[in-house]
Structure 1
Amino acid sequence: MEILASRVLLRPADYERSVAFYRDVLGLAIAREFPGGTVFFLGNGLLEVSGHGHEPGPPSPGALWLQVRDLAAAQEQVKQYVVREPRLEPWGLYEMWIADPEGTRIVLVEVPPGHPLRTDTRTAKD
C-alpha cells in the first residue's frame, strides 16, 4: 500500500473545548477548517480535531489518518482488518476504517479529484 499523507486524529467529547486548547493554549496554527473539524499544523505533521467520524458510543481516544492512492486496492490488502467498509463521507473524502491488532483505529482515505485537498491555492504569476 502506498501512503501519500498522514495525520493524527482526535475525536473529543467536547469539540469546541479541544479546539480552543490546541489553538489558544498550545498556539497551534490552523492548516484547514471544515464543518465540524479543524486541522492544525503539528511540527512536521498534522493534528485533526473533529466532532464527527466515530460510531455511536464513547469518543475514540485517537486514530491514524492515512491517505492512499487507491482505496479499493488497500481494502483488498487489509480486508481482514476492516471495521467499516469504504464510503463517501459528507466532507467529500472516501474513507474506510480498519483496526490494528490492539484496536487502534486507522482511517484509510482516498481524496477524489476536485476535492479542496487537491486544490493548489497559490495564485498564478502573470
Structure 2
Amino acid sequence: MEVLSSRVLLKPRRPQASIEFYRDVLELAIYREFAVGTVFFLGQGFLEVVGSGEAGPSPDVALWLQVRDLAATLEEVRARGAPVEREARREPWGLDEAWITDPDGTRIVLVEIPADHPLRVDVRGR
C-alpha cells in the first residue's frame, strides 16, 4: 500500500465547540473548511473535525502532539481555557508529557522530546 496523505477524523458530539477549541485554544492552522467540517494542519498530518458523533471519546484513543517547549505550550493553552487532565512529567520511556482534553473529552498528549533522548540523538556515527 502506498499512502499519499493521511488525516485523523474526529466526529465530536459538539462540532462547533470542537472546531473553536482546535482553532482558538490550540491555534491549529486551518487547511480547509467545508460545510460539515474543518481540516487542521497537525504537524506532518491533518486533523479533520467533521460531522457529529454520538458515542463520545474512547479512553483507548488519544492525539499525540509533539511540541518544542512543553512548559510554555501548557501555559499558553491553559491560559486559553484548555482543561489540563495531567500536569507535565517525565515518563519512564524518557519523554516529557502533559495531557489536556478537547470539549468532548478526547485526550490530547502534549509531548516534548528531551535533547538527550534516543529519538533526538544522532546515532549514525556510533
- State TM-score, norm by structure 2: 0.49
Q: With structure 1 as the length reference, what TM-score do the two structures score?
A: 0.49
* Structure having the larger proportion of residues in strand: 1
